[in-house]
Amino acid sequence: MDADRSETGRRPSLVPVQPRTALYRPRRRRPVPAHAPLQNPHTPHNPLDDERAHLTASRAALRAMRADAEALDIGDVTANWVNAEVLQSEIDLRIKSLADLAHAPLFFGRLDFLDPYGAAPPPSADGPKNGDGNRHGHGHAHKDGDGHGTEGHTFYIGRRHVHDPDGDPMVIDWRAPVSQPFYRASKKDPQGVALRRRFGYTGGELTAYEDEHLTDPAEAEKSSTLLQREIERPRVGPMRDIVATIQPEQDTIVRASIDGTVCVQGAPGTGKTAVGLHRVAYLLYTHRDRLARTGTLVVGPNRSFLHYIEQVLPALGELDVKQSTVEDLVAHPQLTVRAHDSAEAAGIKGDARMARVLRRAVRSGVTVPAEPCVVVRGSRRWRVPAYELEEIVRELLDRDMRYGAARDALPQRIAHHVLVRMEQAGEAPDDRVQDAVARNPAVKAVVKTVWPLVDPAKLVLRLLSDADFLAEQADGILTPEEQRAVLWAKPARGVKTAPWSAADAVLVDEASDLISRTPSLGHVVLDEAQDLSPMQYRAVGRRCTTGSATVLGDIAQGTTPWATAGWAEALGHLGKPDSVVEELTQGFRVPRDVIAFASRLLPAIAPELTEATSVRESPGDFSVLRFAPESLTDAVVAACREALEREGSIGLIAADSRMADLSAALRAAGLATLGPGEETTEDSRLTLVPATLAKGLEYDHVVLDEPAAIVGGEPDERTGLRRLYVSLTRAVSGLTVLHAAPLPPELADRSPSLGS
Ligand SMILES: Nc1ncnc2c1ncn2[C@@H]1O[C@H](COP(=O)(O)OP(=O)(O)OP(=O)(O)O)[C@@H](O)[C@H]1O
C-alpha cells in the first residue's frame, strides 16, 4: 500500500524538501521499499521520506546486483579460453553498466496505475524481446489515492532496471513498455495512469517532487516546474542525457520501430542529437541480441562534437556504441587525406553521378575473350570456345553482382561449361572435378585477362591522374569542364603519396563497395546530416543496407557547398527513400529573443522553414554592441571576462581567421581557454570556438565576435549566413554579439533598436 497518497492527498505543484532536522528520523532497520513505507500515524508525514527510503533501498539493491555480477564464477561453464574471454568481457560490461553514478539519479519518476499493470492492455505492443524490462508488471501494489481501495501498481522509472533479491523490480528501465506513459500520458489520454510523479534532485539528493493526477478532472493541466528547471539549468561539462524529461513528440521518435528509417528535421536546439542518442539506447534495449550481432553506430560531424556527446550513452548503461565521423568511416589503411579540394571540385566529387563514373571505371578492365579456354585433364583436352566465354562474361556483367563476387564466380562458370562437355562425352564428373577445373591454370589465366583484379585506391588514383581514362569513364556523365575540375594538377605516382582529399576517400570507399559489399550494421544514427554530399550519404547508406537509420539535421544549418536541399533527395542517396520525415519545432536551448534574432536569417538561408519556438521561460540576456575596429578585440576579451562572472560555460565563437588574434589577446589578459569539445569544468569554463566547429555544441553564454567575418569566411554568401545562423544559436542563456564591421543586412536591417 502506498500510504503517502492516502495520507497527504493533493500536493502543490512543486514540493521543496523539508529541513532534515524537522522530519528526518534516522532508521535503524534496513530501508524499506515504497510499497511498505515508514509511517507514524501521530506525526505529519513527508512523502519524500518514503521516496528517499526507496532510493536508498534501490541503491542497495543495485549494489547487490553488481556484487552478484562480480562474484560470478565462470570457471565451470566455459569450455575454452576464447569462451571464457568473451563471457568475462560481457560480465565486465555488465558490472560497469551497474555502476551507481553519482550525477545520474537512479530514478526520476514514478507512475501509479489505476489498475494492476497487465490487467489492461500494455501501452505499447513493441515490447522488449529481451533485456531487463518488466512487461507484466510485478510493480508494487498501492491503494488508490482517494481511499477507494482499488489496487493498482506503482513503478519507479529510472535509467536502468533494479530488482530486489526476490527479483521484484525496484526501478523500471525508462525504455520498458511500462515506462512509456511516463512520457506520453496526458490528461486527455491518461493511459491508465492515476498519478505521475517527477522527482527533483540537488547534488544527488532527492529534494523535491511534483505530481500530476491525470484522471482527476478537478486538477488543471499545468506545466512542469521540474522540466523547466532542467531546461534552464546552466550548462557545464559534456552533453547529458534527457531521460527524465523526454517530451511526447521526442518520445515518438525515440521509440519508433527499428524496421524503418526516421528522418528528423529540426531547428537548432530542438533536441535532435539528444533524441538520436536516446533512440540508440532504446533500440539496444528492445533488440539487444540482434544489435549485438550487427552493431550500431553514431556518425557526427567532427571529433569535437563526438567528444561532447560521448558520455550520454554510457550514462544510460550503453557502453558498446561506436561513434565516428564520415571521414573515419571511409578511412583507408594506405591512404592519407592531406589535400583540400576547391569547392567546385569537392562538389563534383560528392555528386551522385560519380557513382556511375566509378561503376563504369571498375568494370572498364573487363574484356571480351578472344581465345578459347583449353583445359587439359589427363589425356583429354576440353575446349570452351571464345563465344561461350563471351556469353558467360556478358551474363555476369548484366547481373547486379559486386565486381569481386562476379570475378569469384567466373572460374566456376567456365568449369561448368567444361563439365557439360565431359558429361556429353559420357563421363560422370562430380563437384570435386568442377572445383579442380575451376582451379586449372588455363581457367585462371582466362579470369586474369578478362576480369582483372581491381584495387579501389589505384583505380581512383588513375581516374584523378589520367585525363584520357577519366574522359572515357565520365563520357556523357561529367562535362569536360567538370572533368578538368576533378583532375589533380599533377598525376600522382602512388597511393601512399597521392594528394588525397576527403572527397577522394569517399570515392575510394564507393569503389571498394563496387568490388566487395560493405558489411551492414543494424542501426546507424547520422547527425548533422544536412552537410553530407550525395556520395557521403551513399557511404553511410551502404553501412546500413540491411539495417535502418535515424537521420538528424536542419536544412538551415547546411554549411557545405553541396548541403542537402531537401530530405527526400538525401534519403534517396542514403538508399532509404521510404523514410518518414518528422519535424521538431520546440527549442530547448536558445532563448526566445536570441532565436528570434537568428531567425531573421531564415528567409535568406532556408525560406521554406519556419522559426522554432523556445520553451525556455527566461528571456535570456541578449545584446548587440558595436565598437571601433581597433577596440573590438579588447571589447571581446572584456565581454568574456564579464561572462565568466556568471555560472555556466562560456563559448567565444569567431571566424576561423580571427582565432590567432583572439587567442593571443585572451592569453595576454590571463584568460585560459579550452578547445571545442574539450570538457568544461567549474574552474575552466571559457572555450574558444572557430565558427566552423561550432555546429552541434552549446554554451551557457556565447560571446560572438564580428558576424561579418564569419559570413566572409565562407565561399558564398548563403553558406556564410548559414554559418552565422549556427553560431548565433549555440547560446543557452545569453548571447553578446560584438562587431566593428556592419552587421549583415539580413540581421541589421530588421533590428533598428540594436547594433549601431
Ligand atoms: N526534452 C528535453 N528536456 C530537457 N532538455 C532537452 C530536451 N530536449 C533537448 N534538450 C536539451 O536541449 C539542448 C539542445 O539539444 P540538442 O543538442 O539535442 O539539439 P539539436 O536539435 O541537436 O541542436 P543543433 O541543431 O543545434 O545541433 C541540449 O542541452 C539538450 O540536452
What's residue 78's pLDDT?
A: 61
User: What number does the ligand 1 atom closest to the CA of 527 have?
Assistant: 22
317 in a known ligand binding site: no
Ligand 1 binding pocket includes 182 (Cβ within 6 Å)? no
pLDDT band at 79 (very low <50, low <70, confident <90, very high): low
What's residue 722's pLDDT?
A: 96
Mean pLDDT (whole number) for 41-58: 81
What's residue 676's pLDDT?
A: 85
Max CA distance (Å), the chain: 109
What fold characterizes domain 248-331+515-587? Rossmann fold (3.40.50)
Q: Are 260 and 501 in contact (CB under 8 A)?
A: no
Distance in angstroms between the alpha carbons of the first and the last residue of the chain: 66
Mean pLDDT (whole number) for 205-210: 90
273 in a known ligand binding site: yes
What's residue 512's pLDDT?
A: 98
Write down the CATH number for the domain with range 592-748: 3.40.50.300
Instruction: Tell how far the Cα of 585 is from the centroid of ligand 1, in angstroms.
Output: 11
Among residues 318, 309, 314, which one has the least CA distance to residue 282? 318
**Does the pLDDT at position 135 exceed 90?**
no
268 in a known ligand binding site: yes
**Does the pLDDT at position 31 exceed 90?**
no
Sign of the torsion formed by the C-alpha atoms of 756, 728, 714 and 656? positive
Question: Would you call 408 helix, strand, or coil by DSSP?
Answer: helix
Give the closest residue (by CA) to ligand 1 atom 23: 269
Give the closest residue (by CA) to ligand 1 atom 9: 271
Give per-residue pLDDT as tens, 327-352.
999 999 999 999 999 989 999 999 99
User: What number does the ligand 1 atom closest to the CA of 274 have?
Assistant: 18
Most ligand 1 atoms within 8 A of CB, residue of 242, 306, 586 to mutate: 242
Q: ipTM score of the complex? A: 0.99
Q: Which amino acid is at 326?
A: V
**Does the pLDDT at position 752 exceed 70?**
no
Task: Determine the angle formed by the axes of helices 403-424 and 386-398, rounding to 10 degrees.
Answer: 140
Where do we find the cell 518488466?
134
Q: Where are the beta strands (DSSP E) in 310-452?
A: 322-324, 337-339, 373-377, 380-384
User: What number does the ligand 1 atom closest to the CA of 588 have?
Assistant: 12
Sign of the torsion formed by the C-alpha atoms of 514, 306, 675 and 537? positive
Instruction: Tell how far the Cα of 251 is from the centroid of ligand 1, in angstroms.
Output: 13
Q: Where are the beta strands (DSSP E) in 137-183?
A: 140-143, 151-158, 162-163, 169-173
448 in a known ligand binding site: no
Where do we find the cell 562474484?
71
Least confident of 116-130, 216-230, 310-324, 523-537: 116-130
Least confident of 1-5, 88-92, 538-542: 1-5
Where do we find the cell 564579464?
642
Pairing outcome for strands 621-626 and 373-377: unpaired
Q: Which amino acid is at 198?
A: R
User: What number does the ligand 1 atom closest to the CA of 250 have?
Assistant: 1
Q: 88 Cβ partners below 8 Å, 6+ apart?
A: 74
**Does the pLDDT at position 117 exceed 80?**
no
Instruction: Tell how far the Cα of 445 is from the centroid of ligand 1, in angstroms.
Output: 60
271 in a known ligand binding site: yes
560 in a known ligand binding site: no
What's residue 233's pLDDT?
A: 74
Ligand 1 binding pocket includes 245 (Cβ within 6 Å)? yes
Among residues 639, 99, 568, 65, which one has the least CA distance to residue 316? 99
Give the closest residue (by CA) to ligand 1 atom 26: 268
CATH 3.40.50.300 domain range(s) in the chain = 248-331+515-587, 592-748
Task: Determine the angle formed by the axes of helices 441-450 and 386-398, rounding to 10 degrees.
Answer: 50
Among residues 166, 135, 165, 167, which one has the least CA distance to residue 153? 135
Instruction: Tell how far the Cα of 738 is from the centroid of ligand 1, in angstroms.
Output: 26
pLDDT band at 103 (very low <50, low <70, confident <90, very high): low
Mean pLDDT (whole number) for 20-38: 31
Give the closest residue (by CA) to ligand 1 atom 24: 268
Ligand 1 binding pocket includes 696 (Cβ within 6 Å)? yes
How many Å apart are CA 343 and CA 336, to the nearest integer?
A: 20
Q: Which residues lie across from 282 on neighbouring strands?
A: none
Give the closest residue (by CA) to ligand 1 atom 25: 268
Mean pLDDT (whole number) for 91-104: 70
Among residues 310, 311, 307, 246, which one has the least CA distance to residue 282? 246
Ligand 1 binding pocket includes 649 (Cβ within 6 Å)? no
Most ligand 1 atoms within 8 A of CB, residue of 680, 689, 698 to mutate: 698
Instruction: Tell how far the Cα of 330 is from the centroid of ligand 1, in angstroms.
Output: 28
Mean pLDDT (whole number) for 64-81: 74
Cα–Cα distances (Å) from 15 to 209, 226, 244, 716, in that order, read 6, 10, 18, 54
Instruction: Tell how far the Cα of 272 is from the centroid of ligand 1, in angstroms.
Output: 6
Most ligand 1 atoms within 8 A of CB, residue of 588, 729, 733 to mutate: 588
